[in-house]
Structure 1
């Protein structure tokens, strides 16, 4: 039976139903998160996910990062996207039915996750993150809800709306062989009523392009469009004003930065009320990124001069959660988050992290001296010494002491018995239909579309 007609369009939530260039190619089925929908591609009946991105900068970053990473097996596939003046960007992504949050939730019900399965999940996460870092991309929001899983057990990193590419002046020097710049023009359309789309599978444009760019070569068009966006002043200004404020856009096959509920309320692990006052100082980035439970200490202390190491801290928190099925540092505020970290790792000082006194907020936040920190062992009870060692290589104060994803892929832990299981042996939850507000993925909104789809 054909779905019933949607209700009158809403400026944001329902704008996707009013876009003729989209509904001409896709039959939208149901909402799988706020701002995200499953859909059938009319050309071949392939099921995809459509993700609306309301924030201009987040859309630009996500498209840019996914184009660079489009051949990485552990990164979500971007099929095509639609973007026009005065319209939200709509990304067409591969549909992935579940995520690591569901794996953890199922593990709780079943009394744990087999060590071989844990290793397989870890190796896939490491593979995806290594691809990002080799391409100089910092994800900046790594967490279980942004690690989605296909029906056959392939895990993929998603939600690159907060990602940054470390190739801009003043951030980090480009290496001798930097990854090539994408040659496809971004799908931004100024003043033309017809929206263009770029199809990554066919490698060509669909629809009509604006006449001003139709005479340009792809590289010239891309350079023309991005020259303004890639200037450091522009990026810093955008960083201040629209860092992570894309509302709640959680979605299977897209991930989430969802710090707000549909009613505008904040989730238990969202930013503090004063987070909007965070501004970049002399570094490149803002410290107001990521989800609190997975936010590195340097971010909590206001650093704006950081790099890929913030992903490595978050990775350690994800690994610890896979092992224990509980969040490592479930802080209720930034101060509480730091207090929990200090209670486990001990006080932050020059001995454990040379130069930490230069962090912007180091002298403005005072914690009592912790004489006997509990140590990570207390958080990883009944886990092997190798498992504890793996987490310790990531969850440490000094960013430069954290092991890289590539180093961990070669860690002895993964060559020890029990070995990682094959993909076919992984238990993949059927879906994320359950909503558990207490879980680390509890900010997800998996409510079905209000329409009564049959």
Structure 2
């Protein structure tokens, strides 16, 4: 069966956003309640009438997000550590509705629960969570898929401890995964299937194929897009265009705790956008406006996730894109040709600069009381030069996972069941995670100047 979805042609007129009036869906599923809502999708808990299978129905209101998620999930439909797409409904004048397996929790809840537990998450538990993320991400990259929005909330967990990657609405499918700093997408090409989809070459028919990927697990699918910046793929970064999202918007608009971005358009050249993903997990090349990135941006996000498993605090909790860069630079040191060969070719490298950092904090300061081997795992992912980041496949072979304590069996993992859509539950305030940012203290003075790239902003 062809893995490319059959979708209706893009419609410019207003469509219905209500799943309850879709007879083709309500005839097969009982919609129980809403479990997530964002600017571009709504997620409902439901049960399949034929066999009482619990499912999540994800109604996607954005055409391209639907295309991306359906194609990615079809390509990955046999991967154990990726959420299963059971079937989907998509016909002219209607939004796409994805039927997904229902999972009970996510890695954000695991981290939050471990933080409250005496002794925290045990090393064997951390290793098992890490290995499952690596297995899912390796399958994505082996299939040429860049997820582009990895974070704990998008790593869903079943009641029996199976972790699965979800929310592929920002994903892209690439054929060539070479990285070239500063070049504008000349090394990246999209699959023929994807370009056909983009140009609306698919038949105008409903995609009601049923894949019957029945699982005994359950899923809670959440929408990663709560606050979006609309910009054309291939244009400059959010920093350069000042399209940064304030903390308050990130939190309260979608009841998420991470600031998210997604570009909603793709230009005819197939260029990528740098305004993608969730700020706390965005790779530095994205913050500097790169449009020629590949799977390496997922590896940076992976490092941020693993660091949070080891120490249950966000690694780089930036309150804006500029603050995000500041936190990274204060930890890793100055971004120069010596520390990152080719960085000066990045589109926005000359547009923003910071006071030189004589003594960077180092990743060790973010990982107190962790072993050298644990810190080294993070260092293999959190590094400036994308080509130095170790692949998911390579990390799975790391000695860290074969030395005592060994990864625990799935049955020994502690999985808290989520009762609401907040990351930490009702007990914790949003401020517990964001805290008070001290980055603004260093931004008292801003110097603007013109240069060959147009302008420069220097913070001191």
Q: TM-score category by the smaller chain?
A: 0.7 to 0.9
Aligned CA distance change for structure 1 residues 325 and 263 (closer, same or farther; 3 Å): closer
Helix, strand or coil at the partner of 1:417:
coil
Q: How many residues align?
A: 374
Q: Distance in 2 between matches of 1:295 and 1:407?
A: 22
The aligned residue for residue 211 of structure 2 is 200
Q: Distance in 1 between matches of 2:360 and 2:268?
A: 32
The aligned residue for residue 292 of structure 2 is 305
Q: Is the 8 A contact 2:224 2:260 kept in 1?
A: no
The aligned residue for residue 18 of structure 2 is 15
Q: Aligned runs of 1:33-432 on 2, under 5 Å?
A: 33-34=36-37, 35-111=42-118, 112-167=120-175, 170-172=186-188, 190=204, 195=206, 197-201=208-212, 252-259=220-227, 264=253, 269-270=258-259, 284-432=271-419
Superposition deviation, residue 269 in structure 1? 3.7
Task: Provide Cα deviations, 1:383-430, integer angstroms capped at 9, x if missing partner.
Answer: 010000000000000000000000000001001110000000000112
Please list every run of 5 or more consecutive structure 1 residues that lacks an aligned counterpart in the other structure: 1-10, 204-250, 443-454
Q: Distance in 1 between matches of 2:348 and 2:324?
A: 14
Q: Distance in 1 between matches of 2:192 and 2:132?
A: 22
Task: Provide Cα deviations, 1:215-249, integer angstroms capped at 9, x if missing partner.
Answer: xxxxxxxxxxxxxxxxxxxxxxxxxxxxxxxxxxx
What TM-score do you get using the length of structure 2 for normalisation? 0.75
The aligned residue for residue 236 of structure 1 is none
Helix, strand or coil at the partner of 1:28:
strand
Aligned CA distance change for structure 1 residues 124 and 439 (closer, same or farther; 3 Å): farther
Which runs of structure 1 show a deviation greater than 4 angstroms over 4 or more consecutive aligned residues? 11-14, 168-171, 178-181, 186-189, 260-268, 275-283, 438-442
The aligned residue for residue 228 of structure 1 is none
Please list every run of 5 or more consecutive structure 2 residues that lacks an aligned counterpart in the other structure: 1-13, 177-184, 195-199, 228-248, 425-429, 436-460
More RCO (CA 8 Å, sep 6+): 1
Q: Is the 8 A contact 1:138 1:165 kept in 2?
A: yes
- Which of 31, 35, 41 is the aligned partner of 1:32? 35
Q: Is the 8 A contact 2:126 2:309 kept in 1?
A: yes
Helix, strand or coil at the partner of 1:331:
coil
Superposition deviation, residue 180 in structure 1? 10
The RMSD of aligned alpha carbons is: 3.3
Q: Is the 8 A contact 1:269 1:331 kept in 2?
A: no
Aligned CA distance change for structure 1 residues 131 and 255 (closer, same or farther; 3 Å): farther
Q: Distance in 2 between matches of 1:62 and 1:198?
A: 15
Helix, strand or coil at the partner of 1:198:
coil
